[in-house]
Amino acid sequence: MHVVTPIKEFKILPSTDPSSSHFNSVNIKGHYSTKTNSNGCFNKIYAFGDSYTDTGNAQLLDSSKNLKKGQEKPNNGWLLIDFVRDALNISSLPPYKSVNANFSSGVNFAMAGATVFTEEFLSQHKINSTLMWKDGYHSFQTQIEWYNKFVSDIACKGKNNESCKADMENSLFWVGEIGIDDYVRALRSKVSLRWIKDMAMVHTSRLL
């Protein structure tokens, strides 16, 4: 059983950083224990999700209208995945689109603005708002495709099935929050939020 010591206390304070006005404008200051029995439980993390998990993919793809130059992620502090990573004594979790990153401790595939639905599905139902994003859609499906490519080209390249499976068994797969952007995009369409909720559950279940 893998046990990670939770955050014991936290405070959410108004952000004093003007550059954070477009996104999650809070600073989280917490006190948490670094004494855990999680050492050795997982040696890698593979993370998926949206802006609540993204540590740089949106910036590296230059996809957001609101990310300022030099701003790596759409927030000004630690994300939940950072606390998990720290509790597991994993020093960093680089974004997948980072060209020269060291992926020995895992990869972050999360993408700010990611949707559950694919571009084809959204277009089919005339849910076409791109909101704060410059280009098209980056869905959960895209992140899974990135993961599959990473496994075949890097993580398991030159390994047999058994050694690849053993390596993955020591990895934590983190699926963070995703789906808010589907609801927001639907506000300008004729589909109901109830329908979005039901279809999102179907699509997410299939992907997982």
Asked if residue 2 is part of any domain, the answer here is no
CB 173 within 8 A of CB 160: no
Residue 135 pLDDT grade (very low, low, confident, very high; cuts 50, 70, 90): low
Q: What is the pLDDT of residue 81?
A: 95
* Strand partners of residue 10: 30
Asked if residue 200 is part of any domain, the answer here is yes
Q: What residues make up the domain containing 81?
A: 7-207
Asked if residue 1 is part of any domain, the answer here is no
Q: What is the pLDDT of residue 187?
A: 81
Residue 93 pLDDT grade (very low, low, confident, very high; cuts 50, 70, 90): very high
Per-residue pLDDT averaged across 102-109, rounded? 95
Radius of gyration of the chain (CA): 18
pLDDT digits (tens, 9 = 90+) for 58-83: 888 875 545 555 445 556 678 999 99
Q: What is the pLDDT of residue 38?
A: 60
SS (H, E, C) the chain: CCCCCCEEEEEEEECCCHHHCCCCCEEEEEEECCCCCCCCCCCEEEEECCCCCCCCHHHHCCCECCCCCCCCCCCCCCCHHHHHHHHCCCCCCCECCCCCCCCCCEEECCCCCCECCCHHHHHHCCCCCCCCECCCCCEHHHHHHHHHHHHHHHHCCCCCHHHHHHHHHCEEEEECCCCHHHHHHHCCCCCCHHHHHHHHHHHHHHHC
pLDDT digits (tens, 9 = 90+) for 20-73: 333 333 333 444 444 445 666 899 999 999 989 999 898 888 755 455 554 455
Percent of the chain scoring above 70 in pLDDT: 69
How high is the mean pLDDT of the chain? Answer: 77
Asked if residue 121 is part of any domain, the answer here is yes
Q: What is the pLDDT of residue 9?
A: 43
Number of domains in the chain: 1
Residue 7 pLDDT grade (very low, low, confident, very high; cuts 50, 70, 90): very low
Structure tokens at 69: 């130059």
Asked if residue 88 is part of any domain, the answer here is yes
pLDDT digits (tens, 9 = 90+) for 148-189: 999 999 999 999 999 999 889 999 999 999 888 888 888 878
What is the CB neighbour count within 10 angstroms for residue 77? 14
Asked if residue 35 is part of any domain, the answer here is yes
Dist. CA 64–CA 139, nearest whole Å: 15
